[in-house]
Chain A
Amino acid sequence: MSLQEKMKEAIIEWDEDGLKEMCKSAIENKEASAAELLSYIGDIMRFIGEQFENEEIFLPDLIGSADTVKSIIDEILDPAIRAAGEEKKTKGKVVLGTVESDVHSIGKDLVGSFLFSNGFEVFNLGVDVPAAKFIEKAEEVGAQIIAMSSLLTMSMDFQRKLISELEKRGIRDNFKVIVGGSPTSDEWADEIGADGWADDAIEAVSLVNKILNS
């Protein structure tokens, strides 16, 4: 079995320890560089994503695999790439969170996992995230996209607040702002001056792809 095949099996089986060992020893034995391993993982996640879209596997299969590779990327591959002085290749950087006063995370986390599985680098800030924190993180990592979620009708207005904050600081054009969550809609996104809206995690991936390709 080739290294790629072994990695694929570990990712599908959620074998985080096994995958970690494989990546560590591959880098040590110079079998593959961290950047190469990252691209293998990208291919495998794309394969799993396609299986999901074709309804051959279910959501937990996809999310569990994404979680399995996430910690390996954070703990092993990213540091190794930085140490080698290489540039990490991603399709784009997205800062993601649920807005201030709202602690609902699942829909937003699904968006994060889907974006991650599709080759984007995702900075998930969690829930109840104040506008300033979104902006700081986006500036720090050089994100192209700020993605905000609200599940509550009462918390929606904080999405508008972030956009005003960007305008106030004179950096509105530095980022594309997208919004989502049950009570939101395309009309809502237009009303607050956001750059896009997605109905669910699958739509969010198409939206981000569309924005970054335009």
Chain B
Amino acid sequence: MKINKLEVLSKDEIETIHAASIKLLEKVGIKVDAPDCRQLLKDNGAEVDEHSNFVKFPEILVKEQLKHVPDSFKLYGRDGSFSFEVNTHSTQFGTIGTPVRIYDPSNKRGYRKVVLDDNIKQIRIVDSTENIMASHIDVWPSDVKYLTVHTECIYVWAKNTRKPYGGGCYGRVASKDMIDMMSLLVGGEEELTKRPRMIGFMNPTSPLHLPILMTNGLEVFAKYKQPTIVAPEALAGTSAPVTMAGLLAQTNAEILAGIVVAQLYNPGAPVFFGTVSHSTDMRSGNSAIGSVETGLMTAGIAQLARFYNIPSRGLGAVTDSKCFDIQNGLERYQTLMLAALAGINYITCAGTYEATLAEALELVLIDDEIVGMINRAFNGIDVNEDTIGLDVIEKVATETKPGATFLSEKHTRNYMKKELYMPTLMNRNRRTTWRKKGEKDIIMSASEKVEQILKYFTEFEIPPDMDKEIKAFMKMVGERTYDYFREAEGMSADSVTLPDGIEIREDK
């Protein structure tokens, strides 16, 4: 049989959490910054407090809108040759994280700031992996003007991978730019809408707040049916109750609110029921993304997503470690395995460490291998007459010639690749061989593999006419000012909050 799913909530407990979230949505509501979004909700039966901007979602509104949510969708790479399905029963793996640092052993600190060249390398490494299905604007380049990061990154995507891409729903301007540029690259809006290439990230701010940039961006992604992850990052003890049940109820309310808005923008818009919620470290106030509670919380969200029949997204391969130590390995495996066991349908953050602020290409490959192992575990134990192999046991056990082992049996040859996962980075050599081959630890082996992959990678072509059009588009985006951006998003100047560690530069 296949491995059983991990459950952390009973049926009754799921109902209880659901009821609590509905109560939050109905009685307290969600703070919605965007006036047009509030209006849309009001038009659909929500009660809006124009003074506090809180919107109360009646249960019927939530119930009706959830009916439109698809339970599966496909994602495609640029030319459509690579695709994968997201649904409510399988598990896929991806990157994500927006790290601002990248591992660099030649730097005395062991890392340096990310530059655009790292985006190219990172996306090529992801492209080469067997089990990591998509890239996103993962590493955040410091040498690119802030307002053009999205277009520069999509250009990198187009030339360097066959896999789908993703980016934040960070306002309507950037979101529409991404849609427009992707459309140019894939042969039009209709093609992009029919066969989505792009995963959006929409993060409510906890507690109970949908910021203007996020709903603006969500509107664009929903309109063009690019699957969007609605994922709050509520922290137990700081931006949510310290209790896992409270964290779950609040996170669930925030996700439901985001999904309702997406469906109002475009009924049937594909979404992920997502979470980045985890705990707070009570000694420092820092977020503790590699904590065991991350896994517990993720498992709870997986169950709630199944309850609503919506594909889920959760964290895996995340760690708070700043180096390649045992903490790094155990936290990334713990979060990945718990998410997979819980049945999360899209698990993200491969390749990251330092709470997703740092990236290592080596870790992308290591995570790919961990996923290979997890996939093997998921295939379970196949029991039938032939797999039991009584004949072969008898044959080898009773063989009188010296040298009889199962190794030279056809049974072994037929089944070895299916039964045994064969890692390439986990070292199983005896000490002498290991020593002879340079006493390499897993990071050293992964570094060599990274080097090999990059050495033989060849770029994908963009036809010259298309390239000209794309470049002109990118130039137009590059000429925009912050004032244009703020005005287009309907923001007041001080309301932009950027992911931790990202420096905004206004190039004049």
Q: Residues of A with Cβ closer than 8 Å to B?
A: 14, 55, 58-61, 63-64, 66-67, 105-106, 109-110, 112-113, 124-127, 198-200, 202-203
- When C-beta atoms are compared, the residue in chain B nearest to A122 turns out to be B403
Interface residue ranges of B383-421 to A (CB < 8 Å): 402-405, 407-410, 412-413, 416
A58 lies within 8 A of B416 (CB): yes
Contact A105 B403 (CB under 8 A): yes
Would B403 and A203 count as touching, CB distance under 8 A?
Answer: no
User: Which partner residue on chain B sits nearest A113 by CB separation?
Assistant: B403
Instruction: Give the CA-CA distance A47 to B71 in the complex, in Å.
Output: 51
Given the known A-B contacts A64-B408, A200-B433, are A58 and B402 also in contact in the complex, defined by CB atoms under 8 Å? no
Chain B residues close to A by CB (< 8 Å): 402-405, 407-410, 412-413, 416, 422, 424, 429-433, 436
Are B432 and A203 in contact, CB atoms less than 8 angstroms apart? Answer: yes
Q: Given A58-B422, A105-B403, A127-B402, A67 and B408 touching (CB < 8 A)?
A: yes
Name the residue of chain A whose CB is nearest to the CB of B413: A60
Q: In the bound complex, how far is the Cα of B416 from the Cα of A61, in angstroms?
A: 10
**A200 contacts across to B, CB distance below 8 A:** 429-430, 432-433
- Chain B nearest CB from A140 CB (Å) reads 17
Q: Which A residues touch B430, using CB under 8 A?
A: 199-200, 203
Which of B402, B422, B424, B433 has most chain A Cβ within 10 Å? B402
Given contacts A60-B409, A126-B402, 5 further A-B contacts (CB under 8 A): A58-B416, A60-B416, A109-B402, A109-B403, A124-B402
Q: Min CB distance, A213 to chain B, in Å? A: 18
Given A58, A59, A64, A198, which contacts B432 in the complex, CB threshold below 8 Å? A198
What's the Cα separation between A202 and B413 when bound, in Å? Answer: 21
What's the Cα separation between A106 and B407 when bound, in Å? 9
* Contact B402 A199, beta carbon cutoff 8 Å: no
Known: A105-B402, A113-B403, A127-B402. A63 touches B408 (CB 8 A): yes
Does A64 lie within 8 Å of B433, measured CB to CB? no
B403 lies within 8 A of A67 (CB): yes
Closest 8 CB pairs of A and B: A199-B432, A126-B402, A199-B430, A63-B407, A67-B408, A64-B408, A109-B403, A200-B430
CB B356 to nearest CB in A, in angstroms, measures: 33
Query: Whole-angstrom distance between the alpha carbons of A14 and B411 in the complex?
Result: 12
Residue of B nearest to A106 (CB): B405
Across-interface contacts of A63 in B (CB, < 8 A): 405, 407-408
- Residues in B with CB closer than 8 Å to A60 are 407-409, 412-413, 416
Whether the Cβ atoms of B405 and A109 lie closer than 8 Å is: yes
Instruction: Indicate which residue in B404, B424, B433 contacts A199 across the interface (CB closer than 8 Å).
Output: B433
In the complex, what residues of A have CB within 8 A of residue B408's CB?
Answer: 14, 60, 63-64, 66-67
- Chain A nearest CB: distance from B406 CB in Å? 8
Compute how far the CA of A11 lies from the CA of B429 in the bound complex, rounded to whole angstroms.
27
CB-defined A-B contacts under 8 Å, sample of 14: A58-B422, A59-B407, A60-B408, A64-B407, A64-B409, A66-B408, A105-B405, A106-B407, A113-B403, A125-B402, A127-B402, A198-B432, A200-B429, A203-B432
Neighbouring B residues of A125 by C-beta, 8 Å:
402
Task: Give the shortest distance, in Å, between B260 (CB) and chain A (any CB).
Answer: 52
Report the separation of the CA atoms of residues A61 and B190 in the bound assembly, to the nearest whole angstrom: 50
A14 touches B402 (CB 8 A): no
The smallest beta-carbon distance between B118 and chain A, in angstroms, is 29
Task: Name the distance in Å between A178's Cβ and chain B's nearest Cβ.
Answer: 13
CB distance from B435 to the nearest CB of A (A): 9
**A202: chain B residues within 8 A (beta carbon):** 433
Cα(A67)–Cα(B408), bound, Å: 7
Which residues from A are CB-within-8-Å of B436? Answer: 203
B489 CB, nearest partner CB in chain A, Å: 53
The CA-CA distance from A126 to B404 in the complex, in Å, is 10
Closest to A200 in B: B430
Task: List the A residue with the shortest CB-CB distance to B414.
Answer: A60
**Interface centre among B408, B410, B424, B432, by most A CB within 10 Å?**
B408
Q: Which residues of A are found within 8 Å of B433, using beta-carbon distances?
A: 199-200, 202-203
Give the distance in Å from the alpha carbon of A113 to the alpha carbon of B403 in the complex: 8
- Which residues of chain A are within 8 angstroms of B404 by Cβ–Cβ distance? 109
Query: Which residue on B lies nearest to A58, using beta carbons?
Result: B416
Which residues of chain B come closer than 8 Å to A66, judged between CB atoms?
408
A5 to B408, CA, bound (A): 22
Tell me how far the C-beta of A208 lies from the nearest C-beta in chain B, rounded to whole angstroms: 15
Residues of A with C-beta under 8 A to B416:
58, 60
Contact of A112 among B403, B412, B422, B432 (CB under 8 A): B403
Inter-chain CA distance A99–B130, complex, in Å, is 45
Cα distance A98–B412 in the bound complex, in angstroms: 24
Identify A124's interface contact among B403, B409, B410, B422, CB under 8 A: B403
Specify which chain B residues have a CB less than 8 angstroms from the CB of A14 in the assembled complex: 408, 410, 413
Residues of chain A within 8 A (CB-CB) of B410 are 14, 64
Contacts of B413 in A (CB 8 A): 14, 60-61, 64
What residues of chain A lie closer than 8 Å to B403, measured between beta carbons? 67, 105, 109, 112-113, 124
